[in-house]
Amino acid sequence: MQEIVEKLAICIEKGKISRNHPFPPDMKDQDGADEIAALALKEGILPDTLLQACMLGMERIGKQFSENLVFVPHLLVAAQAMNSVLKHLQPYLESGSVKRKGKFLIGTVAGDLHDIGKNLVSMIIRGGGYEVIDLGVDVSTQKFLSNIGQHPDCFVGLSALLTTTLPNMQKSVSAIREAFPDLKILIGGAPVTEDFRTQIGADFYSHNPQDAVEYLNCQVAQ
């Protein structure tokens, strides 16, 4: 079983999606995450074990990204490899036989149409074992509130790239805090700082998405 976990984790870390996928060159013509996951389930390996492998692989690539050892394209292909495993796990996730650690609701704030940073955070957090509810870009305060109301046990993340939309982030955080005082709110984006997080009353900020996973894991463990 541990051998399967390690094989899958390596495929995700290196972005080996399937046997026919040419990347990475040093794994050419080898089975990828897709084939290994399918065979593992056929042989009776528990779906939870495959999810554990996804989390391990994404944790590794996330840490490498935070240390500037890999870059955005590596994250994207790792996420594709992870998704090839999740495709096989989808029926188990939908039935509830495989449990996620929690729900993470995320969106780019009103007036901001940028989504690269949000998408990277979503990938890493999904790979960390969380269900991600992505509201997209230009998300109004009311849209945040209504969706949180449908998922009151979630964590929530707000992203911004434009300095001009930071007031909208502050407005949304304030409204969310008032309506859901116990909710953990994470913020991020190029113009966001720790001082700004303190100023608007959010719970967590980091420029590194892997730090967000570690923060969520600490919250879940409490």
Residue-wise pLDDT tens digits, 24-35: 999 999 999 999
Over residues 164-170, mean pLDDT:
98
Please state, in angstroms and rounded to a whole number, the distance separating the CA atoms of residues 45 and 6.
13
Quick one: pLDDT at residue 53? 95
Average pLDDT along the chain: 95
Quick one: pLDDT at residue 179? 98
Residue-wise pLDDT tens digits, 83-113: 999 999 999 998 888 889 999 999 999 999 9
Residue-wise pLDDT tens digits, 106-116: 999 999 999 99
DSSP per-residue codes, 52-93: HHHHHHHHHHHHHHHTTSS-HHHHHHHHHHHHHHHHHHHHHH
Over residues 149-159, mean pLDDT:
97
Over residues 53-64, mean pLDDT:
95
Quick one: pLDDT at residue 1? 77
Over residues 138-150, mean pLDDT:
98
Checking 177-184 for CB contacts under 8 A at 24+ apart, the result is: 177/201, 179/145, 179/148, 180/148, 180/152, 183/148, 183/154, 183/155, 183/156, 184/155, 184/156, 184/216, 184/219
- CATH code: domain 103-221 is 3.40.50.280
Q: Which helix (H) or strand (E) holds 5?
A: helix 2-14
Structural domain spans, the chain: 2-95, 103-221
Q: What are the backbone dihedrals phi and psi of residue 46, each rounded to the nearest 5 degrees, phi first? A: -65, 140
pTM of the model: 0.89
Over residues 159-174, mean pLDDT:
97
* Best CATH choice for the domain 2-95 from the list 1.10.260.40, 3.40.640.10, 3.90.1150.10, 1.10.1240.10: 1.10.1240.10
